[in-house]
Structure 1
Amino acid sequence: MDIYSKRLPTIKQLQYFIAVCEELSFTGAAEKLGISQPPLSMQIRNLEDKLQSTLFLRNSHNVVLTKEGEILKSKVTQLLNDLCSITKAAKINILEKVTVGTTKTLSFDYIPFFKLFLSEFRDETKIYKHNYTSKELLLELQKGNIDFAIVSDYPTRDFSENSLLIYQEPVTLVLPASHPCCQQNKVNLDDVTDLPLFWFKQQVNPFFYDQCEQVFNKLAHPLSRRAELADNLSMLLEVALGKAMMLLPQSMAQAKVEGVTYKKLISNQDKRLKINIYLIWRKDLKITAVNQAIINYFKRG
């Protein structure tokens, strides 16, 4: 076999193989890579077919490396490390990095898809550190202060060009740990109308606000609202005291506060209460190799 053979594994297959080796779980590896499980399983099957070897023994609960898999793991790890070094050494020095603004609505470090993006493009990008809302980031984009913006939906902007829907963030219900519904796996909002809901002003995120109102209006009993406090921690402490509840983006529901429980919503409410996240780029953005690679990354997602 020579270096031009079509029987050679692809880099993607080798990356997927190492991810499964590290996690010993196809589900865990898929989360790490920011992809769904079926394409991961397909790539591993294709790799095993090309090598004519069984690399993993698996059942519904466990994944174990075979002897052939162990041998391949050490060689592939070295190969990928060498390839990273070669790629880094071959890059032309970039005088100006691409500036990316990310909305403060989500915590992107807790979303594997975005965490992988920030890792893969860390040498080519810099994150706009201002704690901006989506609306503010769009203004910065118009001013030319940033190249890309990752924002939640906003109805006044133009969807017709230079934008991609790249992610839908689920919301999590935050309840006092003493509430009876905390014993359930998933909670129906109809069962928690005894608590006021911390809620934002419509102008903060009009599209998501209206989306939520459509769900709330179909509840058997109306939800009482309470104005949001200055920060999430203050509101979480109020929830712990049994004085309110919250709906938080899943990536923001990370703080461990005594007396607070995070719960998923029932399926039909969960599906309708998702925050649309878009990649937007400047209309006058020069499509360089790096900029195109960023756009392609999110198109693949």
Structure 2
Amino acid sequence: MELRHLEYFLMVSEELHFTKAAEKLGISQPTLSHQIKMLEKEIGYSLFNRVGKKIELTKVGEIVQQEALNIQNSIQNISSQIAAFSKGEIGELKIAVLPGEITDLVTTLCIPFNQLYPNIRVFVESTDQVEKVVIENQADFGISFQFNQEDLLHGTKLYDEEFYLISNQKSEEQKVQFTSVLDGPLILFPSMHQCRKMLNKASSEIDKTLEPIVETSSIKSILNLVRSGVGRSIVSRTLFEFYDTNDLFFQQIEKPTLTREVFLVMKKNCYMHYASREFIKLLVREIEKLHFNTEKEAMHSLHSFVL
């Protein structure tokens, strides 16, 4: 059964006149009559009683009319919902991010995104398996510090994340060696945190062991402890920029320089819907506004691929 046949049938059932219905449909009356006969043959019953020049619906015709109207309404509803979805008026957005500062970055961007698209529900999943979640379609895209599944995923480097030593005391030196950082009391994230994993690796490479005086997963607590003079801390530039740190001071770390790559991860050959594109636009604007260390070629690729 073709939708075209139901459209023709509904027009005839409305007009109860083949010639008038054919005129409104923009086809010839013989063509319309032939199409209705084909529909009747497929259903196995007559849909119209033909009494002289007049026609009327049969009982079966009344059943078909009601169901055809339901189908027509469903199709119209599908079209309107697709139109609303494509404009960001409805829908949902799922983002997978590694636990830590990137989660803070993404959740902060949910505020302007919600102001623009209040009817789109946003789900931010903090997970150590960003690539797996994206591959299994549990997230529309992910943000990660690594990118391995090149056969299934498309990854674009957003920026290089730099790490700072922060303190409540201003130093004359803009940079500090990593070995010197380890000499004083430190307030750090727990070992399960992505930032801490990187610090543990860097310290083990120089045969040092990190022994922080305080461990906490709360960035606000870390900042307050640093303000109070309990110790210094090592945080990403993302966190330093996103929180009220005007009363704190930072130094860049060298030998080794502590940086990591931040990737936008998407599934290959997968349609990027409107909500994803709009959120990524906000993300890119924020990165550019903060003057993070980005690669022009990578950002150009992202603009052409997604934006």
TM-score for both structures, normalised by structure 1: 0.48
Greater Rg over alpha carbons, structure: 2
